[in-house]
Amino acid sequence: MLLTIDVGNTNITFGGFKSEDLEFLARIKTDKNKTSDQIAVELKNIFSLYEVKDIFDGAVISSVVPELTKYICEAVNKITGLTPLVLGPGVKTGMNILTDDPAQVGADLVAGGVGAAALYPLPCLIIDLGTATKICLIDKNGAFRGCAISPGIGISLEALSSKASQLPSISFTTPDHSIGTNTIDSMRSGIVFGTAAMLDGLCAKIEEEYGEKAAATVATGGYSKDIVKSCNRDIIYNGELIHYGLKKIFEKNTK
């Protein structure tokens, strides 16, 4: 079994692949203050919760939280005896990154790009709604062309309630109407329908600049499943995209 780990600023997700099948996908909150022992305990509990019986023969990590990467590697080693492959410079991805500085492209974006290029027709747009909202373009040759990044939904909600004295903290829910008749529904409308409209418009802008329509648009990330329902664009939801990309990258580096 292959252990895949995506370390994000808000959550850490753990996946377990048995051959081509994802046997489990677990999520814990990112805490930069945790020790390797604490992470190891949580990892062991995840294996128990999902009744993981198989022995892991590989592990691969994408991380955008450098402070935690070392401790997660140590935790994985304590529980499985494996030294994980950490996605970064020098790791084979099979994807040409055509940005000004390829080393600056987040490991999660690279893994998502590799996953999308393997699963969907090209060119492809990838929407990742996590701590930040990101839209990436994988061109018709399978190369990573770049992306657009804006504040994520959680950050926007937090900023709205903390900076405006009369606006409360609210839960993330899709409202019934775009015209809110109370403060909470009005805020939800702005966040949900506003984000959906931004995604539609920015995807169209990227296609216009690239000069070709995307053959597929795929969404991943914690907020994607609900937001894409409010988009006009035909968007495929795949919450496992980054983990599938990590699996492909691991295979490229262990053949």
Catalytic residues: 108
Distance, CA of 118 to chain centre: 16
Q: For residues 125 and 207, what is the distance between their CA atoms, to the nearest angstrom? A: 9
Q: For residues 49 and 31, what is the distance between their CA atoms, to the nearest angstrom? A: 21
Q: For residues 245 and 109, what is the distance between their CA atoms, to the nearest angstrom? A: 10
Residues 219, 239: contact at Cβ < 8 Å? no
**For residue 23, what are the contacts with CB-CB under 8 A and spacing of at least 6?**
1, 16, 17, 50, 52, 54
Residue 165: Cβ within 10 Å count: 6
DSSP per-residue codes, 101-147: -GGGS-HHHHHHHHHHHHHS-SSEEEEEESSEEEEEEE-TTS-EEEE
Residues 76, 3: contact at Cβ < 8 Å? yes
Structure tokens at 110: 């690279």
Please work out, in degrees rounded to the nearest 5, the angle formed at the alpha carbon of residue 24 by the alpha carbons of 240 and 86. 65
List Cα–Cα distances, 1 to 16, 18, 20, 59, 85, in angstroms: 7, 5, 10, 9, 15
